[in-house]
């Protein structure tokens, strides 16, 4: 029996993809801005129901001077050796409907040094009823192993209604030994309606 329901998913390289169509809804605080810059804190508008979940606001957390791509702050998520990882999400102003096509983008990066959580991660995008739910996998990025900020675009068709989106740090594909890694996020776009993937 499958552990998770999966949506029809597609990752699209930023250089070959132009977002078009109608804006369906927008993330609250899409650029992860926060007046407080420290470890183990959520930016305004973002949360999670997952236990032991402590994302970091950068620059500032753990004394790391990592510049944001947009605005003053960005977000850091880590994976751990025990198989757990950090996530962050929010309920959307409009529910993503089963069978409809959507697209959005987010800027991603990797920090070579992140208090020993130094290996590269991927980003998983989940849909569910509330922030932190991992009911349906909507999209997965490639392994993010570059320091510079790059825009990644995702196009997906949920197989069930989703009231929330959650972003999760995850390991390289095919790894048998879990590890300490990190991924950095900044500047989500609006969510667009599109033609089916």
Query: In degrees to the nearest 10, what's the CA dihedral of 17, 162, 3, 83?
Result: 70
Write out the E strands in the chain. 5-6, 8-12, 23-25, 56-58, 74-79, 87-96, 101-109, 119-120, 122-128, 136-140, 150-157, 162-170, 181-186, 191-194
Cα–Cα distance list, 159 to 99, 102, 132, 156 (Å): 6, 12, 18, 10
What mean pLDDT do residues 87-99 have? 97
User: Using an 8 Å Cβ cutoff, are 152 and 190 in contact?
Assistant: no
CATH for 5-194 is 2.60.120.260
pLDDT of residue 20: 59
What mean pLDDT do residues 67-95 have? 96
pLDDT of residue 118: 98
Residues 110-157 pLDDT 10s: 999 999 999 999 999 999 999 989 999 999 999 999 999 999 999 999
Residue 124 CA to residue 64 CA, distance in Å, equals: 24
Residue 68 CA to residue 30 CA, distance in Å, equals: 13
What mean pLDDT do residues 159-176 have? 96
What mean pLDDT do residues 20-28 have? 90
The pTM for the full model equals 0.89
Residue 186: beta bridge partners? 107
pLDDT of residue 2: 35
Q: Where are the domains of the chain?
A: 5-194
Which has more confidence, 6 or 25? 25
């Amino acid at each position: 029996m499958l552990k998770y329901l999966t949506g029809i998913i597609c990752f699209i390289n930023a250089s070959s993809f132009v977002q078009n169509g109608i804006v369906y809804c927008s993330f609250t605080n899409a650029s992860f801005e926060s007046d407080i810059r420290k470890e183990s804190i959520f930016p305004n508008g973002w949360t999670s129901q997952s236990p032991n979940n402590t994302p970091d606001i950068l620059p500032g957390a753990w004394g790391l001077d990592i510049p944001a791509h947009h605005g003053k702050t960005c977000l850091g998520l880590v994976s751990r050796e025990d198989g757990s990882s950090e996530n962050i999400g929010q309920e959307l102003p409009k529910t993503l409907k089963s069978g409809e096509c959507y697209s959005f983008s987010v800027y991603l990066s990797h920090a070579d040094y992140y208090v020993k959580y130094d290996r590269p991660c991927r980003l998983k995008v989940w849909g569910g009823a509330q922030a932190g739910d991992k009911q349906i996998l909507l999209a997965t990025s490639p392994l993010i192993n570059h320091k510079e900020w790059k825009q990644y675009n995702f196009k997906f068709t949920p197989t069930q209604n989703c009231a929330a989106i959650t972003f999760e740090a995850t390991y390289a594909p095919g790894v048998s030994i879990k590890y300490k890694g990190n991924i950095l996020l900044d500047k989500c776009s609006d969510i667009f309606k599109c033609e089916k993937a």
